[in-house]
Amino acid sequence: MDCKKIQEQFTRHLESSLSEGASSDVEKHLKSCSDCQKELDEMKAFLLVLESQEMEKPSSNLRMNFARNLAVEIEEKELKTIPLNPKQNWKLYLRVAATVLLIVSAFLLGKQQANITRIAKNIQKGDKKEVLDLLKNNSASKRILAVYSAEKFTKKDTKIIQALINRLFFDKNTNVRLAAAETLLKFSSERMVRDALIKSLETDKSTAVQIELIQILSKIQEKRALKPMEEMLKKEETPQYVKQQLQLNLPSLL
């Protein structure tokens, strides 16, 4: 066997992955070939150098970014399987957030706690669908929570704004309607919001909501509210304290 072919088997020979027969052939050759022996020795030494290489550790960013990507993916996946029953949604929302937090915290180091809560908060805040569903919850307190969460959205989120307007008109609970009116103040630059506020002033049966609307409409300087307010002032059945509020705020609209 020529040296070249023998040498080609050196790596495997040193790894002991050659067959017995081939291995003994190599040994035999080496006994009589000093060049090959030298080459083998070099190879052996070099393989040791290779073996001495250590695995390096990446920074913690790698783990964090993976956790974030995974969390986003899980959240998106869970949202696709949300049942239609509104009663379930608050629990599901919590479950998704909890699952995500578990996964994220399961492999982030203790130092990273701040990031976990930040991720969780981002998931909470950004979730339009969850807020929309929570707005239909059976519990008035949870609907109020949803209404205040809706403040985080922008005026471009027409679905949210529409849902808030629905709460303003149709919610059975006075406090929810009140909260809706307050939150809609943030979106008062939108025409449809101003229209809704005026309409609500004319139709809402609760004096608490009426008073709140009077204050809001005068704050945003909605001149179109002047007429309905004057009508209200004239009506006999308007309670005295509502009239007081009207008298207080009307002047600012004139």
Partner 1 sequence: MVQIANGKLESLSILFDRYHVRIYNFFNKMVHDKMLSEDLTQDVFVKIIKYKASYKDGNFAAWIYTIARNIFSNHYQKTKKERSNLIDDEVTPEVILASKSNKEELDYLQKALLRLPISDRELIIMHRFQEIKYNQIAVIMGSTENAIKVKVHRAIKKLKVIYFETQKHGL
Partner 2 sequence: MKKIYLLILFVSTIVTAQKKEFKYALTGVKKIVLESSTQIILKAANISALTLSENNDHHSEHFFQKDQDHHEHDEGRKDKRKGLTAIYPGGRDNTSGFGFSIIKEGTVLYVIDLKPNFKRHGIKLILPKSINLVINAGRLGSIEMEGFTGEVEASTNIGKIEMKNVTGPITANTSVGKIDIDFDKVSQTSPITISSSVSEIDVTLPTNTKANLEIRTQGTVYTNFDLEMPKKKGLQNVSGRKNIVSKLNNGGVKIFIKSSMGNIYLRKK
Please report, as ranges, the residues that interact with partner 2 according to CB under 8 A: 138-142, 144-145, 148, 173-176, 178-179, 206-208, 211-212, 215, 239, 241-242, 244-245, 248-249
Among residues 41, 73, 195, 230, which is the contact residue for partner 1, using CB under 8 A? 73
Buried b (16+ CB within 10 A) or exposed e, 202-236: eebeeeebbbbbbbbbbebebeebeebbeebeeee
Please tell me the distance from the alpha carbon of residue 113 to that of residue 252, in angstroms, as a whole number. Answer: 50
Question: Where does this chain touch partner 1 (CB under 8 A) — which range of 98-106, 159-167, 180-188, 217-225?
Answer: 98-106
Question: Where does this chain touch partner 1 (CB under 8 A) — which range of 42-50, 146-154, 176-184, 228-236?
Answer: 42-50
C-alpha dihedral, 217 to 221 to 222 to 223, nearest 10° = 120
Give the one entry of partner 1, partner 2, none that residue 77 binds, where binding means its C-beta sits below a cut-off of 5 to 8 angstroms depending on kind.
Answer: partner 1
Please tell me the distance from the alpha carbon of residue 38 to that of residue 46, in angstroms, as a whole number. Answer: 12
Q: Does 33 bind partner 1 (CB under 8 A)?
A: no
Number of residues that bind partner 1 (CB under 8 A): 35
Among residues 33, 79, 103, 226, which is the contact residue for partner 1, using CB under 8 A? 103
Q: Does 22 bind partner 1 (CB under 8 A)?
A: no
Q: Based on CB atoms, which residue is closest to partner 1, 13 or 143?
A: 13
Please tell me the distance from the alpha carbon of residue 229 to that of residue 222, in angstroms, as a whole number. Answer: 11
Give the one entry of partner 2, partner 1, none that residue 139 binds, where binding means its C-beta sits below a cut-off of 5 to 8 angstroms depending on kind.
Answer: partner 2
User: Is the Cα torsion angle 164, 165, 168, 169 positive or negative in sign?
Assistant: negative
Q: Does 74 bind partner 1 (CB under 8 A)?
A: yes
CB of 1 to partner 1, least distance (A): 16
CA distances from 103 to 72, 167, 202 (A): 11, 36, 51
CB of 65 to partner 1, least distance (A): 5
Q: Does 114 bind partner 1 (CB under 8 A)?
A: no
Please tell me the distance from the alpha carbon of residue 233 to that of residue 229, in angstroms, as a whole number. Answer: 6
Q: Based on CB atoms, which residue is closest to partner 1, 122 or 244?
A: 122
Lookup result for tokens 């509020």: 245
Give the one entry of partner 2, partner 1, none that residue 207 binds, where binding means its C-beta sits below a cut-off of 5 to 8 angstroms depending on kind.
Answer: partner 2
CB of 101 to partner 1, least distance (A): 13
8 Å CB contact between 14 and 43: yes
Helix and strand counts by DSSP (H, E) for the chain: 15, 0
Residues in the chain, overall count:
254
Q: Based on CB atoms, which residue is closest to partner 2, 161 or 209?
A: 209
User: Is the Cα torsion angle 212, 214, 216, 219 positive or negative in sign?
Assistant: negative
Of 148, 31, 138, 131, residue with least CA distance to 87: 138
Q: Based on CB atoms, which residue is closest to partner 1, 58 or 251?
A: 58
